[in-house]
Amino acid sequence: MPSRTGAKTHPHHDAPDTAAAFRRLSSLPDGPERDALRDEIVRAWLPMAHRLAGRFRSRGESYDDLRQVAALGLVKAVDRYDPGLGNAFESYAVPTVTGEIKRHFRDHMWTLHVPRRVQELRNRVRRATQELSQTVQGRSPTVAEIAACAGLSEDEVRTGQAAAESFSALSLDAEMPGGDGSWSLGDALGAPDPALDTVVDREAVKDRLAELPERERAILYMRFFDDMTQNSIAQELGLSQMHVSRLISRSCDRVRDQVMGDTDDA
What is the CATH code of the structural domain delimited by 110-170? 1.10.10.10
How confident is the model at residue 20, as a pLDDT? Answer: 92
Q: Per-residue confidence of the chain (266 residues) as pLDDT tens digits?
A: 344 454 444 455 667 889 899 999 989 999 999 999 999 999 999 999 999 999 888 776 788 888 999 999 999 999 999 888 888 899 889 999 998 988 887 666 655 666 778 778 888 888 888 888 888 777 888 999 999 999 999 999 998 888 766 666 556 666 766 656 566 766 767 777 777 777 777 787 888 888 889 999 899 989 988 889 999 999 988 989 999 999 999 988 888 888 887 766 65
Give the pTM. Answer: 0.44
Angle at 164 between CA 56 and CA 180, to 5 degrees: 110
As a whole number of angstroms, the distance between CA 63 and CA 265 comes to 67
For the chain, the domains span 19-109, 110-170, 194-265
Domains 110-170 and 194-265 agree in fold: yes
- Domain 19-109 is found in CATH 3.40.1350.10: no
Q: What are phi and psi of 256, to 5 degrees?
A: -60, -45
Which CATH entry fits the domain spanning 194-265: 3.30.230.10, 3.30.70.270, 3.40.50.300, 1.10.10.10? 1.10.10.10
Neighbours of 158 (CB within 10 A): 16
